[in-house]
């Protein structure tokens, strides 16, 4: 969804400084000059901050292709710079950040759907993500990406609202007074959720009471507010809020106050917790796969939300048992030397440390307990008071090894056990790090963001020494929605998941597409369809290359075969023996591959009318060259021929029959031929053969491997089979764990192919082996186990295909199934 620049000008009440870019269509909001992805449809906000000024980067953004800008009236922008921004639209406002918020608030006002606003000191992201997990099968939800809950993050999140959504979940975070009013105007929640009050950002407020009052400003115009009243300060605030806003309904839950609207009991059993509510004689309960206090609190909040809104169906409640940890919080990963690493370097305050240590306690059976903690920057307490509490908490939770990082915690070393070790910063820690010092431990990383504990995590987390294909499911959905946005109302979408979904996977991809309401799935062979059915896929599935021997399977698993000649149709009739079966008719409109010819159509119609058990679901044809402009005349001829044949068939039957001819590039280049449905293939996986949409698409796959061994090779020595790799100087050679058996083409050997190692492009050297490839990494600072990227965001798949004279389809589908596919949501 987007708006013209004129609409935006009116919405934010700006002034045109320059209007030379035409009536631009804006879909993307941009603040970072380094993150230009969709220049044609982006609007750049030159935002001033304490550390930077977006006006410095106007030229860079313009050079990247952006032609729509918002600048501040009092900014010192050189006239010469503005003169350079030819054919651009430039709007002037008093404050660019305010303009961003105003635009997002105006966008929000275009929708009349339930919007949930979530705030609190802790648990906002988890509650939001868990509500999404519980409800995503029933409603189309828009929510903050990750924890985008700031003055910039919230407007960017709300900007995602589209006509396809029927529920919004937005979290709001503040660090000082005066911020929540802005977020309230943007989110405009009609349902409010307050999680818990904690110590985070205490330093930004005069006291905890002021912070609580500021947070509750999110709910001033809400219809309902849901909160836990166990904390006395929160309970008092709820009473006060009720008096000040009598029209707002309050719904409270508690495990200690039996007079709350929802009284809950929690029972920990092994590795699970049961949450029970009693309403008269009715008892409702859910089970969660967690026993730590943080998870219990957050699950109770989600349960209260469902009860309040009367969404506590048996189906939804059963999903509590399948709740998954939110990766941004307390990530639990396998570590080196039989260690377990818990990464909770997301927030840094005493309350979150307490909850994280509770989580360690739950997970620590059989492990030595280790805490690596930085200076705590979000407590609001005096240093001595704070670290006295930290030391007491550490002793209470049975921490056996403490490593403190930061000058402040080191200053209070006398409060801790004499065995504790302190470092001035993360760099000092990493310089003294030795992997052999860590074994059979559960290690909690609890650091403020500025300490960059991700560097410590990389040292402690176990490396996976294998070649993997990482599949970004967010990108898959993004690409799906890009093409959906090009369709006329009512046009259906068929997704191609044949050939292992172009190398991306099978049911994993199909499940995502089905969840995103794809109309049809298409496979090449019946076996592929059976795999999907066994994985629980219920969407209609067309089989493009049905074999006669597979007809029994097709009938058993409710697959829909393509019919392209009389022989295969006759065999299906015999196999069906009166059983109902749906088919898809392929006609030849110029591809000259498979399909009924036009002079066969009358016979086809009369044949099919003899067998009412065989029902035509669609009539389709293939375009031969829709991506190439030089063949447009031929493509138009194909479309005309197809239309004539398809109408002849559909007119002969009384029931509706779908028509479709467009593929990925056809969707972009021939929008008038969308008919009833379109087929999305390679475009779904981030490749637009026509190039017209390429900048809007995201690559979904990243092929990665690791350095298996590093070897110093002297000048004039040879490398690999047939001694084809020759070095002319002393060189460093890396052997990496991928070869032609994995799908890395042999033509990419001897310097023709490249890979990315630590962000640097390096050439192959010597012949590609079955399981290995050698790279010339001379001059680089590497170690064995370092990551190597064959293709992905940083190493374009098209360039890999060009080097071996093929197309991206072949590169993707050539990746062996022995290469593990790893699926993730960002």
Q: What is the dihedral of CA 236, 239, 244, 245, to 10 degrees?
A: 130
Report, as an integer, the average pLDDT of 782-798.
83
Query: Tell me, what's the pLDDT at 51?
Result: 56
For CATH 3.40.1390.10, the residue range(s) in the chain are: 3-94
| N residues, the chain | 826
For CATH 3.90.190.20, the residue range(s) in the chain are: 331-460
Tokens coding 367: 């492990």
Digit-coded pLDDT (tens) for 700-718: 888 999 898 999 999 999 9
> Are the CB atoms for 101 and 155 separated by under 8 Å?
yes
Spatial distance between the Cα atoms of 767 and 729, rounded to a whole number of angstroms: 19
Spatial distance between the Cα atoms of 418 and 397, rounded to a whole number of angstroms: 17
Spatial distance between the Cα atoms of 417 and 419, rounded to a whole number of angstroms: 5
Burial (CB count within 10 angstroms: exposed 0-12, middle 13-18, buried 19+), residue 121: buried
Q: What confidence category does residue 364 fall into, taking pLDDT thresholds of 50, 70 and 90?
A: low
Q: What is the DSSP letter of 535?
A: T
> Are the CB atoms for 426 and 453 separated by under 8 Å?
yes
| Bridge partners of residue 521, in order along the sequence | 495, 541
Digit-coded pLDDT (tens) for 110-133: 999 999 999 998 899 999 999 999
| SS3 category, 714 | coil
CA nearest to 217, candidates 174, 167, 155? 174
Just give the CATH number of 471-696: 3.20.20.10
Task: Of 344-353, 437-446, 648-657, give the lowest mean pLDDT range.
Answer: 344-353
Task: Of 39-53, 496-510, 551-565, 646-660, give the lowest mean pLDDT range.
Answer: 496-510
Query: Tell me, what's the pLDDT at 329?
Result: 46
Report, as an integer, the average pLDDT of 453-466.
78
Residues above pLDDT 90, as percent of the chain: 57
CA nearest to 250, candidates 196, 198, 191, 299? 191
Spatial distance between the Cα atoms of 420 and 403, rounded to a whole number of angstroms: 6
Is residue 825 pLDDT above 60, yes or no?
Answer: no
Give CATH superfamily name and number for 111-322: Mur-like, catalytic domain (3.40.1190.10)
Digit-coded pLDDT (tens) for 307-343: 999 998 999 999 999 998 775 545 566 688 888 888 8
Report, as an integer, the average pLDDT of 550-571.
96
Is residue 242 pLDDT above 70, yes or no?
Answer: yes
Q: What confidence category does residue 815 fall into, taking pLDDT thresholds of 50, 70 and 90?
A: confident
Spatial distance between the Cα atoms of 291 and 466, rounded to a whole number of angstroms: 33
Query: Tell me, what's the pLDDT at 578?
Result: 93
Q: What is the DSSP letter of 815?
A: S
> Are the CB atoms for 330 and 344 separated by under 8 Å?
yes
Query: Tell me, what's the pLDDT at 701?
Result: 86
Query: Tell me, what's the pLDDT at 563?
Result: 96
CA nearest to 106, candidates 156, 159, 69? 159
Query: Tell me, what's the pLDDT at 499?
Result: 63
Spatial distance between the Cα atoms of 68 and 45, rounded to a whole number of angstroms: 9
State whether CATH 3.90.190.20 applies to domain 331-460. Answer: yes
Digit-coded pLDDT (tens) for 468-517: 888 887 888 889 999 998 999 889 999 988 766 666 667 778 888 887 88
Block residue for tokens 């380094």: 34
Pairing of strands 89-93, 754-757: unpaired
Does 721 qualify as catalytic in the annotation? Answer: yes
Block residue for tokens 């005309």: 640
Query: Tell me, what's the pLDDT at 349?
Result: 62
Report, as an integer, the average pLDDT of 788-815.
83
Digit-coded pLDDT (tens) for 290-306: 988 889 999 999 999 99
For CATH 3.40.1190.10, the residue range(s) in the chain are: 111-322
| Bridge partners of residue 704, in order along the sequence | 468, 789
* SS3 annotation, 357-426: HHHHHHHCCCCEEEEEEECCCCCCCCHHHHHHHHHHHHHHCCCCEEEEECHHHHHCHHHCCCCCEEECCH
Q: Of 215, 446, 498, 704, which is the active-site residue?
A: 498
Is residue 101 pLDDT above 90, yes or no?
Answer: yes
Q: What confidence category does residue 52 fall into, taking pLDDT thresholds of 50, 70 and 90?
A: low
| SS3 category, 184 | helix
Residues above pLDDT 70, as percent of the chain: 93
| Bridge partners of residue 369, in order along the sequence | 442
Is residue 181 pLDDT above 70, yes or no?
Answer: yes
Higher-confidence residue of 107 and 448: namely 107
Does 498 qualify as catalytic in the annotation? Answer: yes
pTM value is 0.50
Give the rounded distance of the alpha carbon of 245 from its chain centre. 38
Report, as an integer, the average pLDDT of 272-297.
88
On average, the pLDDT of the chain sits at: 89
Block residue for tokens 């806003």: 245
Spatial distance between the Cα atoms of 345 and 406, rounded to a whole number of angstroms: 14
Q: What confidence category does residue 81 fall into, taking pLDDT thresholds of 50, 70 and 90?
A: confident
Q: What confidence category does residue 769 fall into, taking pLDDT thresholds of 50, 70 and 90?
A: very high
CA nearest to 107, candidates 165, 62, 150? 165
Spatial distance between the Cα atoms of 53 and 71, rounded to a whole number of angstroms: 10
Kindly calculate the radius of gyration of the chain based on its CA atoms and give it in whole angstroms: 30
Is residue 465 pLDDT above 50, yes or no?
Answer: no
| Bridge partners of residue 92, in order along the sequence | 15, 71
Q: Give domain 701-824's CATH number out of 2.102.10.10, 3.40.50.300, 2.40.37.10, 3.50.50.60.
A: 2.40.37.10
Spatial distance between the Cα atoms of 61 and 266, rounded to a whole number of angstroms: 54
Spatial distance between the Cα atoms of 451 and 459, rounded to a whole number of angstroms: 15
Just give the CATH number of 3-94: 3.40.1390.10
Report CA torsion sign: 438, 442, 448, 449. positive
Q: Of 427, 574, 721, 824, which is the active-site residue?
A: 721
Spatial distance between the Cα atoms of 676 and 671, rounded to a whole number of angstroms: 12
Query: Tell me, what's the pLDDT at 365?
Result: 57
């Amino acid at each position: 969804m987007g708006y013209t620049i004129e609409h935006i000008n009116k919405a934010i009440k700006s002034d045109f400084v320059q209007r030379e870019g035409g009536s631009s269509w804006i879909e993307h909001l941009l603040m970072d000059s380094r993150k230009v992805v969709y220049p044609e449809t982006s609007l750049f906000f030159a935002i001033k901050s304490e550390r930077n000024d977006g006006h410095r980067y106007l030229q860079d953004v313009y050079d990247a292709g952006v032609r729509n800008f918002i600048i501040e009236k009092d900014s010192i922008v050189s006239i010469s710079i503005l003169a350079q921004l030819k054919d651009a639209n430039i709007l002037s406002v008093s404050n660019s950040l305010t303009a961003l918020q105003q635009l997002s608030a105006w966008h929000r006002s275009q929708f009349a759907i339930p919007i949930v606003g979530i705030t609190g000191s802790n648990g906002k992201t988890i509650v939001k993500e868990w509500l999404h997990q519980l409800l995503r099968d029933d409603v189309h939800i828009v929510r903050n990406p990750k924890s985008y809950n700031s003055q910039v993050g919230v407007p960017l999140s709300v900007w995602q609202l589209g006509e396809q959504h029927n529920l919004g979940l937005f979290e709001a975070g503040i660090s000082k007074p005066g911020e929540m009013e802005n977020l309230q105007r943007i989110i405009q929640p009609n349902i409010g959720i307050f999680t818990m009050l904690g110590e985070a950002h205490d330093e930004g407020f005069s006291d905890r009471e002021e912070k609580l009052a500021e947070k509750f400003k999110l709910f001033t115009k809400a219809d309902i507010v849901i909160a836990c009243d166990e904390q006395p300060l929160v309970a008092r605030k709820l009473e006060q809020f009720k008096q000040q806003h009598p029209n707002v309904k309050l719904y409270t839950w508690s495990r200690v106050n039996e007079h709350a609207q929802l009284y809950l009991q929690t029972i920990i059993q092994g590795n699970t917790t049961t949450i029970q509510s009693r309403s008269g004689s009715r008892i409702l309960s859910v089970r969660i796969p967690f026993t730590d206090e943080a998870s219990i609190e957050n699950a109770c909040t989600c349960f209260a939300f469902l009860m309040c809104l009367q969404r506590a169906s048996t189906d939804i409640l059963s999903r509590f048992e399948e709740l998954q940890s939110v990766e941004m919080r307390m990530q639990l990963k396998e570590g080196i030397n039989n260690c377990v690493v818990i990464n909770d370097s997301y927030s840094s305050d005493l309350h979150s440390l307490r909850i994280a240590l509770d989580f360690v306690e739950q997970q620590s059976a059989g492990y030595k307990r280790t805490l690596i903690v930085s200076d705590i920057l979000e407590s609001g307490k005096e240093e001595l008071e704070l670290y006295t509490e930290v030391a007491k908490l550490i002793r209470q939770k049975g921490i056996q090894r403490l490593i403190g990082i930061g000058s402040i915690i080191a200053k209070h070393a006398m409060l801790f056990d004499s065995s504790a070790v302190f470092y001035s910063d993360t760099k000092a820690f990493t310089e003294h790090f030795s992997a052999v010092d860590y074994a059979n431990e559960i290690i909690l990383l609890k650091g403020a963001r500025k300490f960059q504990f991700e560097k410590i995590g990389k040292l402690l987390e176990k490396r996976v020494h294998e070649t993997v294909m990482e599949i970004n499911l967010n990108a898959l959905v993004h690409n799906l929605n890009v093409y959906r946005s090009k369709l006329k109302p009512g046009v259906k979408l068929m997704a191609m998941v044949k050939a292992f979904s172009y190398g991306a996977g099978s049911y994993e991809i199909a499940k995502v597409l089905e969840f995103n309401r794809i109309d049809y799935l298409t496979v090449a062979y019946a076996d592929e369809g059976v795999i999907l059915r066994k994985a629980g896929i219920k969407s209609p599935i067309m089989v493009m290359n049905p074999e006669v021997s597979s007809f029994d399977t097709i009938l058993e698993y409710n697959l829909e075969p393509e019919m392209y000649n009389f022989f295969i149709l006759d065999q299906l009739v015999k196999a069906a023996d009166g059983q109902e079966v749906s088919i898809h008719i392929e006609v030849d409109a110029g591809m000259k591959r498979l399909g009924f010819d036009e002079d066969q159509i009358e016979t086809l119609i009369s044949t099919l009318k003899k067998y009412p058990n065989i029902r035509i679901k669609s009539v389709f044809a293939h375009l031969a060259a829709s991506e190439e402009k030089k063949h447009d005349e031929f493509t138009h001829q194909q479309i005309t021929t197809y239309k004539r044949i398809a109408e002849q068939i559909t007119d002969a039957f009384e029931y509706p029959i779908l028509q479709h001819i467009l593929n990925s590039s056809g969707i972009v280049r021939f929008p008038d031929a969308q008919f009833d449905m379109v087929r999305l293939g390679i475009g779904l996986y981030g490749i637009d053969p026509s190039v017209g949409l390429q900048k809007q698409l995201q690559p979904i796959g990243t092929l990665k491997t690791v350095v298996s061994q590093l070897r110093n090779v002297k000048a004039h020595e040879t490398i690999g089979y047939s001694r084809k790799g020759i070095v002319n100087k002393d060189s460093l050679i890396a052997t990496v764990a991928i070869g032609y058996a994995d799908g890395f083409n042999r033509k990419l050997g001897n310097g023709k192919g490249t890979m990315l190692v630590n962000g640097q492009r390096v050439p192959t050297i010597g012949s590609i082996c079955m399981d290995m490839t050698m790279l010339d990494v001379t001059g680089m600072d590497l170690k064995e186990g370092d990551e190597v990227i064959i293709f992905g965001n940083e190493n374009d798949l098209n360039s890999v295909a060009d080097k071996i004279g093929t197309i991206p389809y072949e590169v993707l589908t050539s990746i062996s199934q022995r290469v593990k596919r790893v699926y993730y949501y960002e």
